[in-house]
Amino acid sequence: MIIVVNFLSVVFVSAQITPSNSSKQNPKQLSIHSEDNQIIDATTDPPTQFLNGNVKVYHAGAFMYCDNAVLRGSHLTMYTNVVILQNDTIKIFADSLKYIGDSLVAYIYGDIILENGPDKKLYTSFLKYDVKNKIGYYTKNAKLIDKTSTLISKRGRYLLNEKTAYFYEHVKVTGPDFDMVSDSLSYNTTTQQTNFLAATRINKDTSQIYSESGWFDLDDKKGDFIGNAQYLAGKTIAKSDTITYDGVLDLVTLKSGLKRSEYISEKDTAYAKEIFYDKKSEIFRLTTDAWYKGKTNEVKGEKIFYNKISEKFNVTGRSQISDPPTLIEADTLDYDKAIKFGIANGHVIWRDTAAKTAIYADHVVYRGEENYMKASNDTGRPLFTTEIDNDTLYLKADTLKSLRIIKERIIYPDKDAARKARSLKNKSKSGEADIIDAVVDDNNIVLNDSTSTDISAFNDSLGVSIQTDTIYTGIMDTIDYFIGDNNVRMFKKDMQSVCDSLVFNKSDSLFTLYSNPFVWSDSTQIAGDTIDLKMKSKKIDRLIVRSQATILSSSDLLFFNQIQGRYLEAFFTDSKIYRMDVDGNAQIVYYITDEAKAYVGVNTTESSNMSFFLKDNKMTDIRCYKEPKSKVIPMQKADHEKLKVKGFKWNVLARPETKESL
């Protein structure tokens, strides 16, 4: 028998109770709140109710609406315009559903929309919904739209209480400026954070980020990519255990444990356990075992800070910066390439690879625009090295400096050279320019008279210029100087020196030694007020003593061969003196030996000017100019102390014997 009930009558069969008795309601029972009409088929057990028009059913805290429904016991089937409401935020719209009150599970079909808030909608064609726990399961593809982000997958589940959705198989997330692909991930609709449950890749413009796990906030565009993390953008690639990415601020941080993270682009290469890169500000921060290389820079250190825009470096730990031709190593480094300003502290090594020079110091300050450098030590003294004659020259002083001066090129008159030129010319006209040749052998000095009027040859031999006027050229020269200040000591295998201060003119390749300088070569000592060492092609070319020149040599430290004059110029070949010119009150004291190398006498010669010629460090020829006076004194009659030239000082104890003695 079938009973038809109109919409004014609400009939409850034994399987139903009213909401007023809900406190005693069996959780398996469903409550019908309204319908336009219903048909009850009592022939079934339990009876079947056919509900038509504006159907509203309540069960387990959920209201379910539709146009038509069939209820049999705890089984409910709903058709057309199906709606489920739960709490204040959960809404499900569908074409039909099957609801089992015993298990509190609804099977929902058709064009399904699940809402959990005003901006969050899940679209699918089939949904298994756990009414009690508020969990939706889908297996036939679904799409979740949350504000500007869209998530799709083949299957998944949506935990509405926790506001978390899980997506599995062919997962794709799309945002306004990125998309994400994965096989499994979870998504929190409140925080908009995705957690990677499988390998995941994010594509943003031309860049990609990949990892095996991690998380990403779709709203804030930030996250951690963990496990074999990789970043790719054009020709830029980054690899690390973990990559932290902030898309809004454009920040990338790479962190690794055992091996270093790496960041490689067309312009930059960076390795470190931790790499931070601010792409907008173009700032790198590298931590632990750091190495950075740009187009013109190479930096090593424990920690590196580098601003690419200002080209400023700050490096801690044992550090190295390569800015060719400059190479700097130190315990801590600050270097601003834009203005070429650097401060290096702790075991500093400063190299100029082009000039093949180096400085070793505790502290170095450098201003490249002025080519200013100052090196100093807390204990000991800074060291300067350079390559000369295929050998290394070592130099120490209390302070080492370099600087650049820009000044007008002025040609000054050489009054002394002009005087000599005029004097020699006058003597030449009167036939008074006498030249005495002395041939030196192991046993004696043989003097030979001759006359010469070759003024130009004499001028050339002394390097004399007859310029007598000061000339202002208007040409501005840039001159770089290197300075050793206070207690300068220099060592080279075949030459050593000491002085109070030293200046090296890089333009002229000229070392100038000031204040009581001494130079030693083999058994020879050279001294004077000021000594110049002229370099040519990284080799010693000339040595010049400007005033009070004295040369001493001895094979036994008992008797000394001596040369003295106001001005001395020595010429070198293959690091050996082959000629010396002495000008102004020149005198020589020379000890004569026999074939057995025994002393037989002392030759003393005085002249205005002398030239000495040497081979293998032995004197072979002496030329005396203008009225030479010479005599030989037997050894028994010689007063050796009185024979010593004025200002005689054998300063061998000050001579650096090794580079370690500097």
- Tell me the average pLDDT across 410-432: 53
What confidence tier does 108 reach under pLDDT thresholds 50, 70, 90? Answer: very high
What confidence tier does 247 reach under pLDDT thresholds 50, 70, 90? Answer: confident
pLDDT at residue 612, rounded to an integer = 87
- Tell me the average pLDDT across 200-212: 89
Above 60 in pLDDT, residue 432?
A: no
Higher pLDDT, 537 or 660: 660
What confidence tier does 319 reach under pLDDT thresholds 50, 70, 90? Answer: confident
149-153, 208-212, 430-434, 591-595: least confidently modelled range: 430-434
- Tell me the average pLDDT across 619-648: 87
Higher pLDDT, 17 or 463: 463
pLDDT at residue 23, rounded to an integer = 41
What distance in Å separates the CA atoms of residue 591 and residue 635, rounded to the nearest whole number?
A: 9
Above 50 in pLDDT, residue 147?
A: yes
pLDDT at residue 452, rounded to an integer = 35
Above 60 in pLDDT, residue 329?
A: yes
pLDDT at residue 89, rounded to an integer = 86
Classify 419 as helix, strand or coil. helix
Phi-psi domain of 356 (left: phi exceeds 0; alpha: psi -120 through 50; beta: other): left
**Is residue 314 a contact partner of residue 292, using CB atoms and an 8 Å limit?**
no
What confidence tier does 417 reach under pLDDT thresholds 50, 70, 90? Answer: low
Higher pLDDT, 642 or 423: 642
Phi, psi dihedral angles at 512 (to 5 degrees): -120, 125
Q: Tens digit of pLDDT for each residue in 531-556?
A: 999 988 888 889 999 888 999 988 88
Phi, psi dihedral angles at 659 (to 5 degrees): -65, -25
Question: How high is the mean pLDDT of the chain?
Answer: 84
pLDDT at residue 316, rounded to an integer = 85
Task: Output Rg (C-alpha) for the chain, integer angstroms.
Answer: 49
154-168, 372-386, 603-617: least confidently modelled range: 603-617
What confidence tier does 418 reach under pLDDT thresholds 50, 70, 90? Answer: low
pLDDT at residue 131, rounded to an integer = 94
pLDDT at residue 461, rounded to an integer = 39
What distance in Å separates the CA atoms of residue 554 and residue 650, rounded to the nearest whole number?
A: 10
Above 50 in pLDDT, residue 1?
A: no
What confidence tier does 573 reach under pLDDT thresholds 50, 70, 90? Answer: confident
What confidence tier does 423 reach under pLDDT thresholds 50, 70, 90? Answer: very low
What confidence tier does 419 reach under pLDDT thresholds 50, 70, 90? Answer: very low
- Tell me the average pLDDT across 215-234: 90
Above 70 in pLDDT, residue 332?
A: yes
Neighbour-count burial of 442, counting CB atoms closer than 10 A to its CB (0-12 exposed, 13-18 middle, 19+ buried):
exposed
Q: Tens digit of pLDDT for each residue in 272-311?
A: 999 999 989 999 999 999 999 888 788 888 888 988 888 8
Neighbour-count burial of 151, counting CB atoms closer than 10 A to its CB (0-12 exposed, 13-18 middle, 19+ buried):
buried
What confidence tier does 657 reach under pLDDT thresholds 50, 70, 90? Answer: very high
What distance in Å separates the CA atoms of residue 32 and residue 64, rounded to the nearest whole number?
A: 10
Neighbour-count burial of 54, counting CB atoms closer than 10 A to its CB (0-12 exposed, 13-18 middle, 19+ buried):
middle
- Tell me the average pLDDT across 132-142: 93
pLDDT at residue 415, rounded to an integer = 54
- Tell me the average pLDDT across 564-592: 89
- Tell me the average pLDDT across 334-350: 84
Which percentage of the chain shows pLDDT scores above 70? Answer: 87
What distance in Å separates the CA atoms of residue 185 and residue 223, rounded to the nearest whole number?
A: 14
Give ∠ CA 638-644-647 in degrees, rounded to 5: 165
pLDDT at residue 20, rounded to an integer = 38
Q: Which domains does the chain have, with CATH numbers?
A: 2-140 (2.60.450.10), 309-412+470-493 (2.60.450), 432-449+511-646 (2.60.450)
pLDDT at residue 552, rounded to an integer = 92
Spacing of C-alpha 579 from chain mean position: 50
Above 90 in pLDDT, residue 95?
A: yes
- Tell me the average pLDDT across 395-412: 84
pLDDT at residue 470, rounded to an integer = 79
Above 60 in pLDDT, residue 591?
A: yes
CA distance to 376, 404, 635, per residue, from 373 (Å): 10, 10, 55
Closest CA to 210 of 226, 194, 197, 221: 226
